[in-house]
Chains A and B, each alone.
Chain A
Amino acid sequence: MLRHVLQRLLLTVPVMLGVLLIGFLLMQVVPTDPAIVRAGPTATVELVNEIRRELGLDQPLYVQFGIYLWKLLQGDLGVSIINNVAVTQELAGTIGPTLELMFASLFWSIPIGIALGTVAGYWRGSVLDRAVTAFSVAGGSVPVFFLGLMLIWYVGFQWQLLPFTGRGGPLWTLEGWQAIALPALTLGGTFIAPVARMTRTAVLEVLSAEHVRTARAKGLGEGAVVLHHALRNALIPVVTLIGLQIGFLLGGAVVTETVFSWPGVGRLAVGAILSSDFPMAQGTIIVLSLGFIIVNLVVDVLYVALDPRMRGH
């Protein structure tokens, strides 16, 4: 088990390198010149050139990338071109709220998605099943920003039930919960549909397996059959797919954070990209990719925990 985790950790090194390289190259193809952004609209050509030298932008690309990597290894992600604040410092302040938002979104949507999918799979073809399927298709087709704007318009603005801008405080306070409610409903709302659909498929497949017939032949009640035999086995593919989906959820977090002015990494990324703040944008890319890699690592570990066949002997 430990060896498995270590192996996976080692594998993340080349993945991370690839992410860094692609992020770096993406910034190079953007037509904006960071030296001009830094110097401001009224700067002279000499000043721009000097800033370019200062930022190391006159060096060949591979040297720039090498310097970038070397600094990164020392924990230095550079400073924002816009406000001179260290990128690491800005990131440190935004990771917390993003984690909070992810947690608050998944906390309610995964159980509901799994429950809906199980019900639909067990009573396949029933009205319930059709309702869940229709809901999944509809829910899966609604864009995050649309759901967010609808919630803001009705719940936040028209009915004045919940706040819809910014963070209200830590999660253990009422204000914290009130402020995170709408963003978490938005982001989680888009997650229920795929989870429900995956669970339904997995449960359906397991229910027709022979070991489920064995369980029934032993005289187990339907509750035990569904929970201990059907759902327990169905969780193996579901967990894998949830892990993959969380990657897309990070993308959704960028939109949700922007719509709700949530002070997280996603909003920081959007701001940095819009203002051509290259070091900052690259920093957010690193954090979001790291998040994705960590989620996948967790999924791998969970997978082994759920499926004894994956354990080495």
Chain B
Amino acid sequence: MGVMQPDLLRIEGLRTVFKTSSGLVRAVDGVDLSVPRGRTLGIVGESGCGKSMLSLSIMRLVPPPGRTTEGRVLLEGRDLLQLSTSEMRQVRGGQIAMIFQEPMTSLNPVHSIGRQLVEAMKVHSGHLSAKDLRDKGIAALKRVRIPSPERRFDEYPHQLSGGMRQRVMIAMALACEPRLLIADEPTTALDVTVQAQILDLLRELQQETGMSIILITHDLGVIAEMADEVAVMYGGRVVERTTARELFEDPQHPYTLGLLGSVPRLDEERDRLLAIDGAVPPPFAFPPGCRFNPRCPFSIGPCRVDMPALREIVPGHEAACLRAPVENALAMEMPQ
């Protein structure tokens, strides 16, 4: 590790809410995170935990009636939430780019690959001739290892496989050399072998460009493969935050323990997988106190009263749990 540099992105107290008929939905509820330069932050959690809304909040693309009401999103010290819409457009696709889960539907079916690719370049790179745009577009396809890019440039999304489309999405995202790539479940919809190829590609491109990555996933395998640091989300909040290595070696939050317990392993003999009891509560009906308490085997009285804040359990490892470290809790009482 070289000299300590300030983080590329800092998120402070971010809150995104939806006003619905069933009440105020707090999709992202006071999230603090930071993304170091050139590294990968993994955000993991079940569906509905707010991880996708968090990424859309960073991009200021939360669909109505959602609104980001509080907090700061500092990209190299500049608060994105304070930018004008036109300044924010320059950030989108320019400094922060995004790829999504469904490569099948994330590309516009009626425009050619090339056209969608150069669209972003036109916005961010000023005036370029049609020839220059085409050359740059083909170069971008080449960079994500798409075979015969000249031909693919003029083809339409339906003529490409899922993996190829995700490569096109990545090419599009990286066309303008962003500092940060937000990848929201980039491999979930793909075949396992293609998944591995896409992850490899992302890693190589990260080494080439030095960009940071926020990798959003529900798949702990992907986290283990890719992430330097990890944030575990539950109920719109970050419940645990540490390095990837530390998370797998010494998980602190009962929810993380549950997640890890539900991963099948080949090196251990187990009759059945552990599952976390119950389901994620709907975000308009969070329980009082710790949001995980109804499902938590370690839950005690105070857990149902106060919402625990993130606190450092061991150096460089934070968890939002009254009972952490759970080894102590385990020593005190054996849960069923």
Contact with B along A207-237 (1 / 0, CB 8 A): 0111111111111110010001100110010
Query: Is the CB–CB distance between B107 and A214 below 8 Å?
Result: yes
Q: Does A307 contact B (CB under 8 A)?
A: yes
Whole-angstrom CA separation of A221 from B169 in the bound complex? 19
Q: Does A313 contact B (CB under 8 A)?
A: yes
Q: How many whole Å from A305's CB to the nearest CB in chain B?
A: 10
Q: Does B92 contact A (CB under 8 A)?
A: yes
Whole-angstrom CA separation of A229 from B158 in the bound complex? 16
Which of B71-79, B116-124, B252-260 forms part of the interface with chain A?
B116-124
Whole-angstrom CA separation of A169 from B61 in the bound complex? 55
Q: Quick one: which of B61, B92, B108 contacts A211, CB cutoff 8 A?
A: B108
- Evaluate whether A309 and B119 lie within 8 angstroms (CB atoms) in the complex, with A217-B61, A219-B124 already known: no
Q: Does B159 contact A (CB under 8 A)?
A: yes
In chain A, residues 226-273, which have Cβ atoms closer than 8 Å to a Cβ of chain B? 228-229, 232-233, 236
Which of B93-101, B236-244, B305-313 forms part of the interface with chain A?
B93-101
Query: Is the CB–CB distance between A218 and B172 below 8 Å?
Result: yes
Q: Does A308 contact B (CB under 8 A)?
A: yes
In chain B, residues 88-114, which have Cβ atoms closer than 8 Å to a Cβ of chain A? 89-94, 97-98, 100, 102, 105-112
Query: Is the CB–CB distance between A308 and B158 below 8 Å?
Result: yes
Query: Is the CB–CB distance between B93 and A217 below 8 Å?
Result: yes
- Evaluate whether A215 and B119 lie within 8 angstroms (CB atoms) in the complex, with A210-B102, A309-B158 already known: yes
Q: Does B59 contact A (CB under 8 A)?
A: yes
Q: How many whole Å from A35's CB to the nearest CB in chain B?
A: 58
Whole-angstrom CA separation of A220 from B109 in the bound complex? 17
Q: How many whole Å from A237's CB to the nearest CB in chain B?
A: 12
Query: Is the CB–CB distance between A214 and B92 below 8 Å?
Result: no
Question: Which residues on A sit within 8 Å (CB–CB) of B286?
Answer: none
- Evaluate whether A308 and B156 lie within 8 angstroms (CB atoms) in the complex, with A233-B108, A233-B110 already known: yes
Question: Which residues on B sit within 8 Å (CB–CB) of A208?
Answer: 63
Q: Quick one: which of A210, A218, A307 contacts B123, CB cutoff 8 A?
A: A218
Chain B contact-residue range equals 20 to 34
Question: Which residues on B sit within 8 Å (CB–CB) of A216?
Answer: 61, 92
Q: How many whole Å from B112's CB to the nearest CB in chain A?
A: 8
Query: Is the CB–CB distance between A232 and B92 below 8 Å?
Result: no
Question: Which residues on A sit within 8 Å (CB–CB) of B97?
Answer: 217-218
Query: Is the CB–CB distance between A213 and B89 below 8 Å?
Result: no
In chain A, residues 193-212, which have Cβ atoms closer than 8 Å to a Cβ of chain B? 208-212
Query: Is the CB–CB distance between A220 and B89 below 8 Å?
Result: yes
- Evaluate whether A211 and B91 lie within 8 angstroms (CB atoms) in the complex, with A217-B61, A308-B158 already known: no
- Evaluate whether A306 and B89 lie within 8 angstroms (CB atoms) in the complex, with A210-B105, A217-B59 already known: no
Whole-angstrom CA separation of A199 from B91 in the bound complex? 32
Query: Is the CB–CB distance between B172 and A309 below 8 Å?
Result: no
Whole-angstrom CA separation of A220 from B98 in the bound complex? 13
> By CB atoms of chain B within 10 A, which of A212, A215, A233, A306 has the most?
A215
Q: How many whole Å from B161's CB to the nearest CB in chain A?
A: 15
Question: Which residues on A sit within 8 Å (CB–CB) of B102?
Answer: 210
Q: Quick one: which of B105, B120, B156 contacts A219, CB cutoff 8 A?
A: B120
Q: Quick one: which of B98, B111, B156, B172 contacts A228, CB cutoff 8 A?
A: B111
Query: Is the CB–CB distance between A219 and B106 below 8 Å?
Result: no
In chain A, residues 120-155, which have Cβ atoms closer than 8 Å to a Cβ of chain B? none
Q: Quick one: which of B100, B110, B120, B172 contacts A210, CB cutoff 8 A?
A: B100
Q: How many whole Å from B289's CB to the nearest CB in chain A?
A: 35
Q: How many whole Å from B26's CB to the nearest CB in chain A?
A: 22
> By CB atoms of chain A within 10 A, which of B59, B86, B108 has the most?
B108
Whole-angstrom CA separation of A5 from B24 in the bound complex? 54
Query: Is the CB–CB distance between A219 and B94 below 8 Å?
Result: yes
Question: Which residues on A sit within 8 Å (CB–CB) of B110?
Answer: 232-233, 236, 306-308
- Evaluate whether A219 and B158 lie within 8 angstroms (CB atoms) in the complex, with A211-B106, A306-B110 already known: no
Q: How many whole Å from B141's CB to the nearest CB in chain A?
A: 16
In chain B, residues 3-53, which have Cβ atoms closer than 8 Å to a Cβ of chain A? none
Q: How many whole Å from A28's CB to the nearest CB in chain B?
A: 48
Question: Which residues on B sit within 8 Å (CB–CB) of A212?
Answer: 108
Query: Is the CB–CB distance between A217 and B98 below 8 Å?
Result: yes
Question: Which residues on A sit within 8 Å (CB–CB) of B107?
Answer: 211, 214
Question: Which residues on B sit within 8 Å (CB–CB) of A306?
Answer: 110
Question: Which residues on B sit within 8 Å (CB–CB) of A224?
Answer: 119
Question: Which residues on A sit within 8 Å (CB–CB) of B105?
Answer: 209-211
- Evaluate whether A309 and B156 lie within 8 angstroms (CB atoms) in the complex, with A218-B93, A219-B92, A220-B123 already known: yes
Q: Quick one: which of A213, A228, A229, A313 contacts B100, CB cutoff 8 A?
A: A213
Interchain residue pairs with CB less than 8 A apart (25)? A209-B105, A210-B100, A210-B105, A210-B106, A211-B105, A211-B106, A211-B108, A211-B109, A213-B106, A214-B100, A216-B61, A217-B61, A217-B92, A218-B120, A219-B93, A219-B120, A221-B86, A221-B123, A229-B108, A232-B108, A232-B111, A233-B108, A308-B109, A308-B156, A309-B156
Q: List the 4 closest pairs (A to B, CB-CB), nearest first.
A: A219-B93, A219-B92, A218-B93, A218-B120
